[in-house]
C-alpha cells in the first residue's frame, strides 16, 4: 500500500504509536492474513503457524485464569458465609433459641431451604422431652445416622453431599418431597454419647453434589459439635 493510499493522518498515527496496532488482536489477524495471501499458496509461513499456536494457547490460558479467579471468589464467599453462620450460632442463650436459630438465621446465611439436627437416643423419656422442643430436631433410634448417611453404600468422611433419596421424609418430614439435594454432617458429641447428624436440605438439585468440596462444611460441623457441647453438658 502506498503512502498516498494509506493517508497521511493514519500513517502518522501508526508511526507515533505502533504499540496500539500490535495490541489490537483483530487488526493483527487481518494484517497477518493479508501477508499470507501476498506470499501465495506455495510458501509455508512457519512463523505464522507458530503465532497461531501461541494465540490458541493464550486463549486457553486466559480461560483458565478466568475460571481460577471465579473459583477463588466463590470460595471466599463461601468462607465468609460459614464464618458468619458460626458467629451467629454462638449467640443463643438456651437450647430452644439455638434450634430456632438453625432454621432461621443460620439457614438464611447459608442459603439452604431446611436445616435438621438428628440426635440418637436409647431412652424413650428423653426422646419425648427432646422431641417437644422444636421441629428442627429429629429424634432417632440408635444406628439411624449411619444408615441414613450410607443408604446402601459405604459413607466416606464426616461430610456427604448428594441428591435426596426416597428416604428424605425420614428426616425432613412433610418437606421431604421438596428437597432435591442435601449435605450430611456426622457429629461426634463426646465420649459415652450416641452420634448425631446435621442435615442441610435444598430445593436446588445442584447445590450439594459429590463433586463439590467439603472442607468448609467440615469446619462448620466441628464448630457445631463444640456448640452442642454447651447444651449437652
For the chain, domain boundaries: 93-232
- Per-residue pLDDT tens over the stretch 68-104: 766 666 667 778 889 999 999 888 888 888 888 888 9
For the chain, the average pLDDT equals: 79
pLDDT-based confidence at 153, cuts 50/70/90? Answer: low
- Is pLDDT of 50 > 90? no
pLDDT digits (tens, 9 = 90+) for 9-18: 777 887 787 7
Q: What's this model's pTM, rounded to 2 decimal places?
A: 0.65
Q: Identify the pLDDT of residue 10.
A: 79
Question: Strand 137-140 and strand 114-120: pairing?
Answer: parallel
Contact 187, 221 (CB under 8 A): yes
pLDDT score for 126: 53
Q: Number of helices (H) and strands (E) in the chain: give both, helices first.
A: 11, 5
User: By percentage, how much of the chain surpasses pLDDT 70?
Assistant: 76
Q: Is 41 or 26 the better-scoring residue by pLDDT?
A: 26
Q: Which CATH architecture has domain 93-232?
A: 2-Layer Sandwich (3.30)
Amino acid at each position: 500500500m502506498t503512502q498516498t493510499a494509506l493517508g497521511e493522518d493514519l500513517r502518522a498515527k501508526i508511526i507515533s504509536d505502533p504499540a496500539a496496532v500490535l495490541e489490537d488482536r483483530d487488526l493483527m489477524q487481518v494484517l497477518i492474513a493479508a501477508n499470507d495471501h501476498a506470499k501465495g499458496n506455495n510458501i509455508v509461513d512457519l512463523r505464522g503457524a507458530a503465532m497461531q499456536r501461541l494465540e490458541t494457547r493464550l486463549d486457553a490460558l486466559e480461560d483458565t485464569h478466568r475460571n481460577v479467579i471465579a473459583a477463588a471468589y466463590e470460595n471466599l464467599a463461601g468462607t465468609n458465609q460459614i464464618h458468619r453462620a458460626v458467629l451467629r450460632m454462638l449467640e443463643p442463650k438456651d437450647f430452644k433459641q439455638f434450634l430456632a436459630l438453625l432454621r432461621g438465621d443460620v439457614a438464611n446465611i447459608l442459603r439452604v431451604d431446611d436445616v435438621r439436627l438428628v440426635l440418637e437416643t436409647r431412652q424413650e423419656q428423653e426422646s419425648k422431652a427432646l422431641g417437644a422442643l422444636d421441629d428442627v430436631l429429629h429424634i432417632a433410634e440408635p444406628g439411624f445416622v449411619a444408615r441414613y448417611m450410607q443408604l446402601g453404600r459405604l459413607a466416606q468422611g464426616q461430610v456427604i453431599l448428594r441428591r435426596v433419596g426416597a428416604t428424605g421424609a425420614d428426616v425432613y418430614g412433610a418437606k421431604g418431597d421438596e428437597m432435591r439435594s442435601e449435605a450430611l454432617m456426622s457429629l461426634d458429641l463426646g465420649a459415652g454419647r450416641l452420634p448425631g447428624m446435621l442435615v442441610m436440605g435444598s430445593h436446588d438439585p445442584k447445590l450439594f453434589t459429590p463433586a463439590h468440596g467439603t472442607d468448609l462444611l467440615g469446619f462448620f460441623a466441628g464448630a457445631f459439635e463444640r456448640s452442642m457441647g454447651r447444651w449437652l453438658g
